[in-house]
Amino acid sequence: MLALVLAGCSEDHDRVAQPSQIAPEDIQSGYDFLQPETQSLQDDEFANPGYLWVDKGQALFNQAPENGGPTCSSCHSDDSRPVSKAAAHYPAIDELTGKLVNIEARINLCRERYQDLSPLEYESDELLGLTAYLSHLAQGEPVSVKIDGPAKKYYAAGEEYFFLRKGQFNLACSQCHNEHWGEKLRGDTISQGHGNAFPAYRMEWQTFGSLHRRLRDCDSGIRAEPLEFGSETYTAVELYLAKRAEGLAMESPGIRR
């Protein structure tokens, strides 16, 4: 799929001509488009259900694996390979493979390489918990990612997908989140589509979920075929969205409608 996106348009999927990007001074978190009651729920560490996953992730981060391998915390401390702000700077290129990875993929790479453990399944409570914990540690840190060098092709692919018309409704992400943000869609206000609050608790789901789950929902909503969790293309879109949101503070665990 990444190769198809890099190749540009196909017979069935036309690329939307890019309108001007959202001006840096107009960048707003999805938090700003929530009802005051929902904002209050996100702000309350006792009421925000996302903190159940943060707590689970913290326990897993400090828990010794059954195989006797090292804990995550034994490798990552404030003095050695700190991770307190890392989530704000992902996706990033994995130096060993040269491929783009998000936080979920980085967690699984660490499990396989250093703990001799199997990767965790996407959307499992364990992976969501660890991702939530690491993202929460970065809460308040401005989003900032690198898009040069090996990351350049992924950024281009993510941008291409964002402006690509797809599905039976023949819509692109940009048409909602660049051209019509702040307007009403039924009872909701359209946000700018940033990912700085994910993983997040979404009211529609009545549970916690990753940014890739949200991307799959968007594709399903326009009647396009959702891609696999952890797909190269969705990770490229995640990189594009992170660069687009540069400067916004990390909010996870966020609350979204």
Q: Are 103 and 127 in contact (CB under 8 A)?
A: no
pLDDT score, position 15: 66
Distance CA 241, CA 94 (A): 19
Domains and CATH numbers, the chain: 2-6+30-45+143-256 (1.10.760.10), 51-63+86-137 (1.10.760.10)
Report the relative pairing of strands 200-202 and 254-256 from DSSP bridges.
Answer: parallel
110 in active site: no
pLDDT score, position 13: 56
DSSP H or E run through 184: strand 184-185
pLDDT score, position 8: 40
Distance CA 69, CA 71 (A): 7
This prediction's pTM: 0.91
Render each residue's pLDDT in the chain as its tens digit; 257 residues.
454 444 344 444 566 655 568 988 999 999 999 999 999 999 999 999 999 999 999 999 999 999 999 999 999 877 778 899 999 999 999 999 999 999 999 999 999 999 999 999 999 999 999 999 999 999 999 999 999 999 999 999 999 999 999 999 999 999 999 999 999 987 889 999 999 999 999 999 999 999 999 999 999 999 999 999 999 999 999 999 999 999 999 999 999 99
Joined tokens for residue 133: 């914990």
Distance CA 161, CA 243 (A): 15
pLDDT score, position 154: 98
pLDDT score, position 4: 43
